[in-house]
Chain A
């Protein structure tokens, strides 16, 4: 669904369009709030070692299951470890995995989708049937199936996200390519003898960038949730890597006596997810004002 602004130009946007875009995005207060959340989480993730008051793996048997205090902001766990510090390091783990997985899916899915959509015919049929097969599985079931083969690990989760989200990028990219292929500028490039890969990646891709960015943002939200879910279920990030999902598994046995053990990690997972979801919604409205709040 390319807007007029996007189709007018083959590559790049001039400054006034960018400014217009930014202004329209900044009007959406919820999305700006989301952006703020994500930037904060980004800083926390990058500087976790500097911010964390304790070493996340250090056990302290004199401070077991202590409630939140000035010393231990989020309290301590059953081994006396500082939950706040563990949450900060947990962000590093989940963000690395999600970033890797979503980028892998973006590169794979976009290449497949653009090629299929631009070339059409048998290439399109074959590629999209393969995508259909992956789409036939509910995402978490696909993830579990792949993990059963690969074994539970951090890199396993990254790979699983990459595979599981590829079809979504492929579908979005394909529908953009199908509509752009008929545009005048593509036709004229073909006449001038531009190579296929040049047309697809230098000219069609930049024009499909809007919907793809929306997809990246929303898949980031899903990716964080899925990573945490797999770790919660015991098939994701393994000890000693700190993981927000696993902290909840461990903490849920202490619900009645030490609520902070599971509540803080749970809230911590929600923050970036809310951030990405609101940014995604905002971007979608900005890129395609006709589809309000879809």
Chain B
């Protein structure tokens, strides 16, 4: 299979997935027991107001009609009205997307620059102190609840040492230094998990690569270990790391909900949570849809990059 064929195939498969995602998100409102309008407004709402909301949501129409109405709105960026924010959903999400994007990118930057070297060193010195240390970091990182590490970091670095603010957010356009100061603890909290996942992957893929036939051949040929490492092994063990970036995105977007909530950062994750707590269904639908789209687009992107770098993957999947 040629690469462009593979890309085409994956893009074609992406269409039914997106369709399924949109149906799922649309149908969420209809899973609500009783009327979603009553759920949103509370039991003391007047009959008039309930009917008004039901009309607004188009709940009296047959389901397929409702879906088409809703989805054609989504396609032109009309995600409905948020009741808790008293305004259209789309612009709210647009603002918040960039806040979360900054958090995710900072986390990715820090976690990769820690986990890649640590993973390599651990793989090269298997069963050494460094290796055990990295294994410890790995197990701890995936076992500490994000909310717990966040709370502990606040206790130490914000309440105890007062190095960083306890919570809050400053836009980077307003004051970049303050923005970064507010981002340190949230990033650190997210990084803990991200490092653990990436480092374990880096370590195991490096060990696997070093054990392969061609590396032993290069050694037998008398090539220096440094040039084997940097010239050959590293390139091939980076492929799983790209997979990890895709994988981490899921953890990061899930983690963002918790971290943004603890540190009061107005990102997408906090928006989903608030929408759920307020039973603001149009906002739930919009933010869940955007997060799913973001996540699956990144996954698709990383898969395509990997298949370009390592064509064998296309054959395995076929």
Contact = CB atoms under 8 A, between A and B. Distances in A.
Nearest to A150: B31
B278 to A, nearest CB: 10
Interface in A251-294: 252, 255-256, 259, 262-263, 266, 269-270, 273-274, 277-278, 281, 291-294
Interface stretch (A131-139, A184-192, A202-210): A131-139
A149 interface: yes
A130 B20 contact: yes
A145 interface: yes
Contacts of B32: 149
A233 interface: yes
A68 to B, nearest CB: 16
Interface string B247-273: 001110111011001100000000011
B162 to A, nearest CB: 11
A52 interface: no
B275 interface: yes
Given A141-B288, A150-B31, A252-B151, A266 B145 contact: yes
A138 B100 CA distance: 14
B173 interface: no
A278 B139 CA distance: 7
Interface in B140-169: 140, 142-148, 151-152, 154-155, 159
A24 interface: no
Given A133-B20, A293-B200, A293-B207, A144 B142 contact: no
Contact of B272 (A129, A132, A144, A221): A144
Contact of A259 (B155, B207, B254): B155
B90 interface: no
Q: Is the interface of A mostly helix, strand, loop or mixed?
A: helix
Contacts of A291: 204
A145 B288 contact: yes
Contact of A234 (B251, B253, B277): B277
Given A145-B288, A149-B28, A229 B151 contact: no
Nearest to B297: A136
A130 B21 CA distance: 9
Given A245-B147, A273-B143, A140 B16 contact: no
B296 interface: yes
Q: Is the interface of B mostly helix, strand, loop or mixed?
A: helix
B96 interface: no
Interface residues of A, number: 47
Contact of A136 (B21, B203, B207, B254): B21
Given A138-B253, A229-B258, A233-B258, A274 B159 contact: no
B25 interface: yes
A225 interface: yes
A232 B147 contact: yes
A151 B34 CA distance: 12
B279 interface: yes
A133 B298 CA distance: 15
Contacts of A146: 28, 31
B281 interface: yes
A257 to B, nearest CB: 10
Contacts of B25: 145
B114 interface: no
Contacts of B272: 141, 144-145
Interface centre among B17, B275, B279 (most CB of A within 10 A): B17
A129 B16 CA distance: 7
A65 interface: no
Contact of B204 (A233, A278, A294): A294
Given A141-B257, A255-B151, A221 B281 contact: no
25 contacts: A30-B139, A130-B20, A133-B24, A137-B288, A138-B254, A140-B254, A141-B257, A144-B273, A144-B276, A144-B284, A149-B28, A149-B32, A221-B143, A232-B258, A235-B273, A248-B147, A248-B148, A252-B154, A256-B155, A259-B155, A269-B145, A270-B145, A292-B208, A293-B135, A293-B203
Interface of A: 30, 129-130, 132-133, 136-141, 144-151, 221, 225, 228-229, 232-235, 245, 248, 252, 255-256, 259, 262-263, 266, 269-270, 273-274, 277-278, 281, 291-294
**3 nearest A-B pairs in the assembled complex, by CB-CB distance:** A133-B20, A140-B254, A149-B31
Given A140-B258, A150-B31, 11 more contacts: A129-B17, A132-B13, A137-B292, A138-B292, A141-B253, A145-B25, A149-B31, A228-B145, A233-B273, A234-B277, A255-B154
